[in-house]
Amino acid sequence: MPTTLYVGNLPWNTTAEELGQFFSEYGQVESSRIITDRETGRSRGFGFIEVEEADAARMAEELNGKDFGGRPLTVNEAKPKQM
């Protein structure tokens, strides 16, 4: 069952491809996306990674606090969107 990870404190110029590539060494990345501002199209500094296996997600969580582009990442399992 796929698991989604929240990735915060990203450098503003990070692309979804760069993010996916960074996480790919910890497991199979199904998708990666950077959240952008609807009006400006600029990155909001966070994104989401979907990985195939829960074990891979736990391994990727070890990246919490690791340097990515000169900034310490915030990585944790994404919580469902509240309606």
Where in the sequence is the domain holding 24, given as residue range(s)? 3-77
Structure tokens at 46: 């966070």
Domain count for the chain: 1
In a domain, 29, yes or no: yes
Q: Where are the beta strands (DSSP E) in 1-83?
A: 3-8, 29-36, 43-51, 67-68, 71-72, 74-77
Question: At 13, is the pLDDT very low, low, confident or very high (cuts 50, 70, 90)?
Answer: very high
**CATH code at position 14:** 3.30.70.330
Lowest pLDDT segment from 8-12, 36-40, 55-59, 62-66: 55-59
In a domain, 67, yes or no: yes
- The proportion of the chain whose per-residue pLDDT surpasses 90, expressed as a percent, equals 61
- pLDDT (tens digit per residue) in 32-51: 999 999 999 999 999 999 98
